[in-house]
Structure 1
Amino acid sequence: MALTDTALKALKPKEIPYIVSDNRGLYAEVLPTGSIVWRYRYRLSGKREKLTLGKYPALTLKNARLKRDEAAQTVALGQSPAQKKQLAKVAGPENTTVAEFAERFFRDIQERDRKDSTIPRRYLDKDIVPHIGTKQVREITAEDVRSVVWRKKQQGFDAAAGQIRGLLKRMLDYAVTCGLLDHNPVAALPMRHVYRAAARDRALTPDEIRLFLRAMQVSNIRRQFKIAFQLILMTLVRKSELMLAQWRDVHLDEGEWHIPVENSKTGKPHIVYLSKQSVLLFRELKILAGNSAWVLPGRGTLTKPFAHNALNSALKVALQDQEIPAFTIHDLRRTASTLLHEKGWASDVVEKALNHTIGGVRGVYNRAEYAEQRKEMLQFWADFIDRLAPANNLVVMSASV
Structure 2
Amino acid sequence: MPRLAVPLTEAQIRALEPRAARYCVADGNGLVIEVMTTGTKVWRFRYSLDGKRQPLATIGDYRMISLRVARAKAQKYAEMVARGISPVATARRDRGAESKADVLREAAELYLATEMAGKSEEYRRTTRRALEKDVLPAIGHMPVKAVTAADIVAICDRIKSRGSPKMALHTRNVVKRLYEYLIARQLAAGNPAEVVPARSIATFDSRTRVLSGDEIGAMFRSIDASSIRRPLKLALHLLVLTMVRKSDLVESTWAEFDLDKALWTIPAARLKKDRDQRVPLSLQAVSMLRELHETRASRNFVFPSVRGDDRPIAKSTLNQAVKALGLDVEHFVLHDFRRTATAHLREMTAHAEATDRGAEEVPERLRQSTNAEKAADQRRIMQRWADFVDAQIKDTRSA
TM-score (norm 2): 0.43
TM-score between both structures, scaled by the size of structure 1? 0.43
* Structure number with bigger Rg: 1
